Amino acid sequence: MKTVKTLLLAACLAPVLAFAQMTPAGLWKTIDDETGQEKSLVRIVDAGGTFNGTVEKSLLNDPNVSKVCDLCTDDRKGQVIVGMEIIRGVTKNVKDDGLWDGGEILDPQKGKTYRVRLTPKDDGAKLEVRGYVGMPLLGRTQTWLRVE
């Protein structure tokens, strides 16, 4: 009887756990769309319906890559990139259930801020991150991989 209860509980929780993985919240390995190189680990958190992302670790060993956001023009100018919030103000799109947008993403190597769209894929194992200026058609997409 205990086994049946355990199976029923697992069956009831499975959709909840699957839904939790279909949000952008989690730890992600960023992959550069131009070079295919792993760049960093970014943790995206849900702060009451608004998603923000912070660089937790750099995966680059290139001494020529700046560790400080010298080119930033906002409050992040001169800050160390590891520990920096690079995604701000993203919320769930009310028209498209599988999309989060409305915020911005910072490219700390270029110091540029873009509008952002986050779309979980493959049952939440991947995250399409689209940074753009103006409209989503005018941008670039990276696919990040879920670490946890």
| Tokens, residue 46 | 């849900």
Q: What is the pLDDT of residues 96-138, one digit of tens each?
A: 989 999 999 999 999 999 999 999 999 999 999 999 998 888 8
Domain boundaries, the chain: 2-146
CA dihedral in degrees (87, 144, 17, 100; nearest 10)?
40
Kindly report the pTM of this predicted structure: 0.83
Q: What is the pLDDT of residues 68-92, one digit of tens each?
A: 999 999 999 999 999 999 999 999 9
Question: Which residue type occupies 109?
Answer: Q
Minimal CA–CA distance to 147: which of 69, 73, 42? 42
Q: In the predicted model, is pLDDT for residue 6 greater than 60?
A: no
- pLDDT number for residue 20: 44
CATH code, 2-146: 2.40.128.520
- pLDDT number for residue 22: 87
Question: What span, in angstroms and rounded, lies between the C-alpha atoms of 26 and 148?
Answer: 6
- pLDDT number for residue 133: 94
| Tokens, residue 55 | 């660089």
Please tell me which residue, 6 or 57, carries the higher pLDDT value.
Answer: 57
